[in-house]
Amino acid sequence: MPNPLKYNKNFDKLSYEEKQLLEENKKSIADFVEQSSTLSDVNYATRNAHAKTYAVLKGEFIINPEMRSDLLYLFDKEKYNIVVRLSNAHLKIKRGKKDIPAYGFAIKIKDDADRTIANYPLVNFPLFPLNSVSTFLKLFTAVNRFFIKKWGNTTPLLLQMYQIIPSICTWSFLRKCLEFLTKKNDFMLSFDYHSVGAYRLGDHMMKIQLSPKNPQRKFEKGLTTKKAIEKFCQKENYYANVMIQFCYDLKDQPINILNREWKNSPFIKIGEVKIEKNSFLTPNTCDNELLSFNPFESAEIFQPVGKIQKLRDQAYKVSLQTRKKINKLLKYK
């Protein structure tokens, strides 16, 4: 294989128009979070995406001792403590028995002093429907405003949804959608989880995949997702391989084209995630909502890469600041 491409700040640069749209989006995020307790009918402020927490767990990230020496030097320990948040992607917390099967597996890697080394918010669908930063920001802002004001913002939302049709009507994206439909009723912890966007690993760029070692696709099919996860985590250990792909050629591994899979880049195992049974953490709801998995709160060598990824920094910060303002007051009532 050729040498991986090196990270360059130009992959992350936003235009003036994109920065202006981001400011509008941040305002819509703050407005949504401020009203989120009412929207989801709960007594705390939620995130404006992945609002429902299924569980927060503690575990370990165990480094692969057989990893290539040019990668192994990036990790100074054999294993690291991690915090995992399992979530649903919907903006609101739904009360029905059946959730949409769009799940999140966010990982926070910590050092011995309990400081965050890296955050990786992973999802169970490997592609993102949009490549245009402007289109994404306009759509996300329209979605936030729709939930806040409902029918008063229906037309802008429909117009923005129309704009994304060309992005989802690609062979790579549609093929993944068809594959996903065959697994839509599977147990949450049986899915692979993906970084979607790219991240740095030292001087290079990579994507991440988390693959369970013994997936139980039909575990407790009759229970709600939350109840099934709680039952699994009370009785079973969870093990998953952590795999990466490097970016060697932008034609085959594009950084800012997120609706297309990377090809011609082999998966490399860098370690394993282990979550032992009964590893539940922070049962208090407000504590869970004060957790942040902003991937920009990571060491420089593990930072996100790409324009869509760049948006996460400000979006996560606004969401967290607004939740903190509300939930710290609620926590001590």
Backbone angles phi and psi of 24, in degrees to 5? -60, -40
Least confident of 55-69, 166-180, 221-235: 166-180
Using one digit for the tens of pLDDT, what is the confidence trace for 134-168?
999 999 999 999 888 865 668 777 888 888 888 78
SS3 11: helix
Mean pLDDT, residues 315-322: 91
User: Can you give the pLDDT at residue 235?
Assistant: 93
CA 153 to chain centre: 27
Bridge partner residues of 61 (DSSP): 80, 273
Token pair in block for residue 265: 């880049």
189, 226 contact by CB (below 8 A): no
Give CA–CA dist 282/285, Å, rounded. 8
User: Can you give the pLDDT at residue 28?
Assistant: 94
Sign of torsion, CA 313 123 81 272? negative
Using one digit for the tens of pLDDT, what is the confidence trace for 273-310?
999 999 998 656 667 778 889 999 999 999 999 999 99
Confidence of residue 13 (pLDDT cuts 50, 70, 90): very high
Mean pLDDT, residues 301-323: 92
Using one digit for the tens of pLDDT, what is the confidence trace for 188-236?
999 999 998 999 999 999 999 999 999 999 998 889 999 999 999 999 9
What amino acid occupies position 240?
Answer: A
Q: How far apart are the first and last CA of the chain?
A: 59
Q: Of the candidates 285, 296, 295, 280, which has an alpha carbon nearest to the alpha carbon of residue 323?
A: 285
Q: With helix as H, strand as E and coil as C, how does 61-77 read?
A: EEECCCCCHHHHCCCCC
Give CA–CA dist 83/279, Å, rounded. 10
State the average pLDDT for the chain: 90
Confidence of residue 1 (pLDDT cuts 50, 70, 90): low
What amino acid occupies position 305?
Answer: V
User: Can you give the pLDDT at residue 332?
Assistant: 42
Give CA–CA dist 213/84, Å, rounded. 17
Q: Of the candidates 79, 99, 80, which has an alpha carbon nearest to the alpha carbon of residue 91?
A: 99
User: Can you give the pLDDT at residue 328?
Assistant: 74
Mean pLDDT, residues 48-67: 93
Using one digit for the tens of pLDDT, what is the confidence trace for 80-94?
999 999 999 999 888
Please list, in sequence order, all residues whose beta carbon lies within 8 angstroms of the beta carbon of residue 246, skipping any fewer than 6 positions away: 4, 201, 204, 205, 206, 253, 265, 268
Q: Of the candidates 233, 315, 323, 234, which has an alpha carbon nearest to the alpha carbon of residue 287?
A: 323
User: Can you give the pLDDT at residue 333?
Assistant: 46
Q: Indicate whether 258 pLDDT > 50.
A: yes
What amino acid occupies position 173?
Answer: F
Residue holding tokens 């993944």? Answer: 176
User: What Cα–Cα distance (Å) separates residue 148 from each residue in 57, 202, 319?
Assistant: 31, 41, 15
What structural domains and CATH numbers belong to the chain?
A: 9-331 (2.40.180.10)
Confidence of residue 263 (pLDDT cuts 50, 70, 90): very high
What amino acid occupies position 332?
Answer: Y
Percent of the chain at pLDDT > 90 equals 66
Half-sphere exposure of 115 (CA within 13 A, CB side): 4
